[in-house]
Amino acid sequence: MKLEEIIKGITVSEIIGNTTKEISGINIDSRLIEPEHVFVAVKGTQTDGHAYITKAIEKGAVAVVCETLPETLNENITYIKVGDTEDIVGKLATAFYGDPTSKLELVGVTGTNGKTTIATLLYNMFRKFGYKVGLISTVCNYIDDEAVPTDHTTPDPITLNQLLGRMADEGCKYVFMEVSSHSVAQKRIGGLKFAGGIFTNLTRDHLDYHKTVENYLKAKKAFFDGLSKSAFALTNLDDRNGLVMTQNTKAKVSTYSLRSLSDFKGKVLEDGFEGMLLDINNVEVNVQFIGRFNASNLLAVYGAGCLLGKKPEDVLLALSTLRPVAGRFDSLRSPKGYTAIVDYAHTPDALENVLNAIHEVLNGKGKVITVVGAGGNRDKGKRPLMAQEAAKQSDKVIITSDNPRFEEPQDIINDMLAGLNKENMRKVISIADRKEAIRTACMLAQAKDVVLVAGKGHENYQEIKGIKHHFDDKEVLKDIFANE
């Protein structure tokens, strides 16, 4: 593809050099540049791509897109000056990969909790309907049944367009994608056309990056502000920010709720550790999920299915056959008669939701033992809140290590303990070794009790000092059960 075709849709302030060159790729990482590539110099949160222009040229870049021109220009290189490289990189990638979202029905899911569950269930549902479907999520990306490993909730714009291009080429009709607040703030989704957007909820998270809840909310809202009038915006009325998200959108707004009159209304009729009986728009359906938060997630899935043109009865039938996503309220039964639940809950709100769901089912007939930690090099403000939430709703709490990253596990534990009063401290112990913490919780559990292992869910590693060591909460529990 010629350079002039790639830059056609962007606002350029200055061009130096030839734009008829053939281009074989685009990159924002100078280390990945190959001959005939375009290098886009982006000012990132860690480094400024402008410092790597020379390195990119040495590796074969034939064009550079930048905000500030280098002092010395190479006569063989085409320089394209723009106002904001972060803003245009997604548009360049979209053009280079043939505008893949014009050939797909792309639905984005955003919110603090529930993104993975909703996106994955929609992916599973539409595959059951017989379509080829793509999934872009925290757990894994899929091109129909082909797994493509992932490092971020939402990939960088070039990886994202490349992935969407493959999905379009391989015949996917629908793609369901988690849209993180980082990806909106960093304009990773620039240039993409969405058929619809779903809002789950908004609570404290990622304040290490966004600094304030207001900034976090604005990042989420910007996604809906950018939807076109041909798209749908499906929002959760049970969250106080539900209508804030959609107040400036051009998209057609629909609502879902467990509490209020809405387009997609639900109610939990019965619940247990095997599943729930729900009423959805006055039709009863049995599902293999637990807890009100999952009832809300399923309403979002139902609503999106209907908004994408499926018959309500077909969507309900599919809902009844769907299974929980790996690491999301994943329950195992111990030979001793207690239940262990592995869940990704890593925010105070998510922990509250999971513990509420456990108490709804237990109904006072068993005790709750919670194993919980907090990630290192992330929002420190939520650490005491996590400990408080665990202590408030558990009979025993074991505070342990999560992914300490480059922090000392004991320092993170101390930050969590700082949020507890004397009364709470009586039911709390700390064990830095996560495997020992889980083992201790299981030793304390009796028949009918519940052991909640929170924070890591589907993750099969523990990140310590920059190295990911194999660690899987579910595997640990199965080993313990084998020896009970």
Annotated binding-site ranges: 30, 111-117, 153-154, 180, 186, 188, 378, 402-405, 455, 459
Q: How far is CA 119 from CA 135, 164, 199, 287, 442, in A?
A: 7, 15, 11, 17, 32
How would you classify the pairing of strands 428-430 and 396-399? parallel
* C-alpha 100 chain-centroid distance: 22
Binding residues for meso-2,6-diaminopimelate: 378, 402-405, 455, 459
Question: What's the sign of the alpha-carbon dihedral 182, 187, 188, 189?
Answer: positive
Q: Which of 392, 463, 465 is nearest to 423 (CA)?
A: 392
Contact 154, 189 (CB under 8 A): yes
- Per this entry, what is the length of the chain? 484
Rounded to whole angstroms, how far apart are CA atoms 367 and 379?
30
Rounded to whole angstroms, how far apart are CA atoms 339 and 447?
8
Contact 367, 340 (CB under 8 A): no
Task: Detail the DSSP E strand segments found in 232-282.
Answer: 232-236, 252-257, 264-272, 275-280
Q: End-to-end CA distance of the chain, in Å?
A: 63
Rounded to whole angstroms, how far apart are CA atoms 466 and 469?
10
Contact 238, 257 (CB under 8 A): yes
Rounded to whole angstroms, how far apart are CA atoms 415 and 430?
12
**Residue 46 CB partners (closer than 8 Å, separation 6+):** none
